[in-house]
């Protein structure tokens, strides 16, 4: 199994509070991604990173920011959590670009905003 | 972007073969067809991919139509552990670092 660890695995937070989710990899893969998964929407890309300090937005980036100060860690921050951000968040990694490369996913973080 | 269409759900009996269809009628010549699956309470995992020819690996087989407008993921002997949501995804050439675009997939139920 690819070495991807998401933390925390579960979190309940209050509306308006900041929340940071962490994705840690031991594979030294260059590309890292954050997705959210909601019923009826499948997985949607929030942000991704193509190197240290290099990040870009996905299709549902509003309300989220990311940082990648080292290869192994990719942080997702909800600046001020809202109930609409209640979701399951998945981190993924990939070694290189190209249509033949597979992605590896973490176990997910279940976030509930009350 | 080329899109895929999959049945919402399918059932299979344990130890029988399963054929999961995917339609991708707007596929372009350089799009690869990838399959991922998501077991309950887990992240997606890669299953198989192909371009034009049929492909086999330890998990499954991928049969691609000659016109590439459809494909079928084949699980040769379904087990209870194969119960999952199966996603058919097109990898778009030139999409650089952007990731896979997931649809809603097919929920496979395996009956004992």
Rounded to a whole number of angstroms, the distance from the CA of B14 to the nearest CA of chain A is 26
> Is residue B53 within 8 angstroms of chain A, CB to CB?
no
A97: chain B residues, CB-CB within 8 Å? 96-97
**pLDDT over 90 (residue A88):** yes
Q: Are A4 and A91 in contact (CB under 8 A)?
A: yes
What percentage of residues in chain A have a pLDDT greater than 90? Answer: 81
CA distance B82 to B110: 7
Measure CB to CB from residue B44 to each of A44, A100, A105 and give the nearest one. A105
Per-residue pLDDT tens for A26-67?
999 989 999 999 987 788 999 999 899 999 999 899 999 999
Query: Strands, E, within chain B: which ranges?
Result: 9-13, 18-23, 32-38, 45-50, 55-56, 61-64, 70-75, 84-91, 106-111
Q: Are B3 and B69 in contact (CB under 8 A)?
A: no
B6: chain A residues, CB-CB within 8 Å? none
Query: Strands, E, within chain A: which ranges?
Result: 4-7, 10-13, 19-25, 31-38, 42-51, 54-57, 64-70, 73-78, 87-94, 104-105, 109-113
CA distance B99 to A32: 9
CA distance B15 to A8: 37
Closest to B59 in 3D by CA, of B42, B79, B41: B79
Q: Are A13 and A105 in contact (CB under 8 A)?
A: no
> Is residue A64 within 8 angstroms of chain B, CB to CB?
no
Closest to B30 in 3D by CA, of B57, B55, B2, B4: B2
Residue A42: per-residue pLDDT? 81
> Is residue B21 within 8 angstroms of chain A, CB to CB?
no
Contacts of A79 (CB under 8 A, 6+ apart): A18, A63, A64, A65
Residue B95: per-residue pLDDT? 57
Q: Are A37 and A90 in contact (CB under 8 A)?
A: yes
Under the banding of pLDDT at 50, 70 and 90, the label for residue A97 is low
- Helix, strand or coil for residue A35? strand
Instruction: Please say whether the dihedral angle defined by the alpha carbons of residues A68, A45, B100 and B77, taken in this order, is positive or negative.
Output: positive
> Is residue A52 within 8 angstroms of chain B, CB to CB?
no
Rounded to a whole number of angstroms, the distance from the CA of A41 to the nearest CA of chain B is 7
């Amino acid at each position: 199994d690819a070495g991807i660890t998401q933390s925390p695995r579960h979190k309940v937070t209050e509306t308006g509070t900041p929340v940071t989710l962490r994705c840690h990899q031991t594979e030294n893969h260059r590309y890292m991604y954050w997705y959210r998964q909601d019923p009826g929407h499948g997985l949607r890309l929030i942000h991704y990173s193509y190197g240290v300090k290099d990040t870009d937005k996905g299709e549902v980036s509003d309300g989220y920011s990311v940082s990648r100060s080292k290869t192994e860690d990719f942080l997702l921050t909800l600046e001020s959590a809202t109930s609409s951000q209640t979701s399951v968040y998945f981190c993924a990694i990939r070694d290189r670009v190209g249509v033949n490369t597979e992605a590896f996913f973490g176990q997910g973080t279940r976030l509930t905003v009350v | 972007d080329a899109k895929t269409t999959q049945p919402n759900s399918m059932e299979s009996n344990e130890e029988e073969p399963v054929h999961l269809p995917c339609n991708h009628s707007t596929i372009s010549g350089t799009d690869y067809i990838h399959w991922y699956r998501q077991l309950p309470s887990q992240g997606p995992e890669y299953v198989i991919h192909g371009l034009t020819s049929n492909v086999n690996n330890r998990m499954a087989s991928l049969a691609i139509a000659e016109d590439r407008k459809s494909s079928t993921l084949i699980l040769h002997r379904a087990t209870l552990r194969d119960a999952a949501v199966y996603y058919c995804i097109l990898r778009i050439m030139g999409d650089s670092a952007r990731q896979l675009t997931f649809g809603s997939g097919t929920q496979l139920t395996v009956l004992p």
